[in-house]
């Protein structure tokens, strides 16, 4: 299964990118970073590594990955028949306590 990278993309101004283009491209390729190119603080382009781009372009692979996760979690609650009933009771209790807190004495 693919490992998902949740790091924020690195922001860089268009002028700074122009001055350090080759270093920035090395970072994207070798460190697998994503760059957001900004002009006057407005994002105008994303620069991603070829690997990330291929992952974005392949919706079938994303779908297969999602279905694999669903398959892993299938049947987690099958032994717990009263789960929904307990959740409804818990929610009703929360709401009644909230109503009680709102009452003015």
Confidence of residue 53 (pLDDT cuts 50, 70, 90): confident
Q: At what angle do helices 59-73 and 50-57 cross, to 10 degrees?
A: 80
Tell whether the model's pLDDT for residue 70 goes beyond 70.
yes
Helices (H), the chain: 14-19, 21-30, 50-57, 59-73, 83-102
The mean pLDDT of 75-84, rounded to a whole number, is: 71
Tell whether the model's pLDDT for residue 55 goes beyond 80.
no
Annotation: CATH topology of 10-102: YefM-like fold (3.40.1620)
Tell whether the model's pLDDT for residue 104 goes beyond 80.
no
pLDDT given for residue 42 in this prediction: 92
Confidence of residue 1 (pLDDT cuts 50, 70, 90): very low
């Amino acid at each position: 299964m693919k490992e998902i990278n949740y790091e924020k993309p690195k922001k860089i101004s268009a002028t700074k990118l122009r001055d350090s283009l080759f270093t920035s491209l090395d970072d994207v390729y070798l460190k697998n970073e994503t760059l957001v190119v900004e002009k006057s603080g407005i994002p105008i382009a994303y620069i991603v590594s070829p690997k990330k781009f291929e992952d974005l372009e392949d919706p079938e692979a994303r779908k297969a990955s999602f279905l694999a996760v669903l398959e892993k979690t299938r049947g987690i609650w099958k032994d717990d028949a009263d789960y929904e009933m307990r959740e409804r009771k818990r929610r009703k209790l929360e709401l009644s306590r909230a109503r009680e807190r709102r009452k003015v004495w």
